[in-house]
Amino acid sequence: MEQKFGDILHDWHNYLVSWTRDRAPKLVVILVLAFIFVRLLGIITRRIVAFSEKRTDGVQRAQQVRTLAGVIHSLGVVLIVFFTGMSLLKDVFNINIAPLLASAGIAGLAIGFGAQALVKDVINGFFILLENQFQVGDTIRTAGVAGVVEEITMRRTALRDSDGTLHVVPNGSIQIVSNMTRDWSQVTLQVSVDYNENSDRVIDLLQQVVRDFANDPTFKPDIVSEPLVPGIERVRGQEVDYLVLVKVQPRKQFPAARELRRRIKACFEENKIKAGVPAAVFVEGLPAPPN
């Protein structure tokens, strides 16, 4: 018995010596490389966040970049740990990893089929953040609803419409995005004037109004380019519509449009310009029924 026990200890000693000589260096190298890759990934993601905070013009965009960087860091760490574990099992412990990979593939396939909507939401959310399709505060129209973006996550987007209703849209449902406040917004006014008013005089008055508006210190910082009065947009019956176009900073179109309407009304009243009257539609009635 003692001889057998001694032989077992001797075999274990020889195995440990051989393993330490042949396999331990591989173990150390693999772990050190994994540690280096994790540290490099953390440095890169932190640099991306710091760069975005310096270069972006809003806190919300920087928050989106931090979210995206966090997702990239987490996925990167998971992949590094996975490949490190596979390398350790194969090169250090001489374990056949083919069955493990097959099982992992089957499990991943099952999870993918069971959570297709969730996976689609996350992938769409990733590309929304990566491509900067819209930001918190933008006014967008998508998935049949429109409103101001209040929150963006990897899975969903929250929109608040003009009635105050909050719409929660899964990112997987976002196919086409109409961003109404990207780079600049445009005020488009159709000013209705009586048909008998002199068109050249009306256009001159409108141009004077938009020039005064553009030079007003309160609104001048919000104007992107010189306002335009292209001329007559439409003639209908006894009214003529004149077009006014003003490009302003994003989300500034509503106060600009209200101020322009006020100034145009005051100018027309001062210069005795008659507003247009919608064309009347007369419908011939049926003969009265006999008594």
Q: Where in the chain is the domain with CATH 2.30.30.60?
A: 133-179
What is the average pLDDT score of the chain?
83
277 pLDDT band, cuts 50/70/90, is confident
CATH 2.30.30.60 fits 133-179, yes or no: yes
What lies within 8 Å, CB to CB, of 152 at 6+ separation is: 64, 67, 125, 128, 129, 134, 135, 136, 158
86 pLDDT band, cuts 50/70/90, is confident
| Range of weakest confidence among 98-107, 214-223, 224-233 | 98-107
Q: Which CATH class is domain 2-114?
A: mainly alpha
Q: Does 271 score more than 90 pLDDT?
A: yes
Q: Does 134 score more than 60 pLDDT?
A: yes
Q: Where in the chain is the domain with CATH 1.10.287.1260?
A: 2-114
Q: What is the CATH number of domain 185-270?
A: 3.30.70.100
Q: Where in the chain is the domain with CATH 3.30.70.100?
A: 185-270
Q: What's the confidence (pLDDT) of residue 286?
A: 44
pTM over 0.75: no
* Per-residue model confidence as pLDDT tens digits over 28-79: 888 899 999 999 998 988 888 787 777 655 555 666 777 777 778 878 888 8
* Per-residue model confidence as pLDDT tens digits over 147-189: 999 888 888 899 999 899 999 999 999 999 999 888 888 999 9
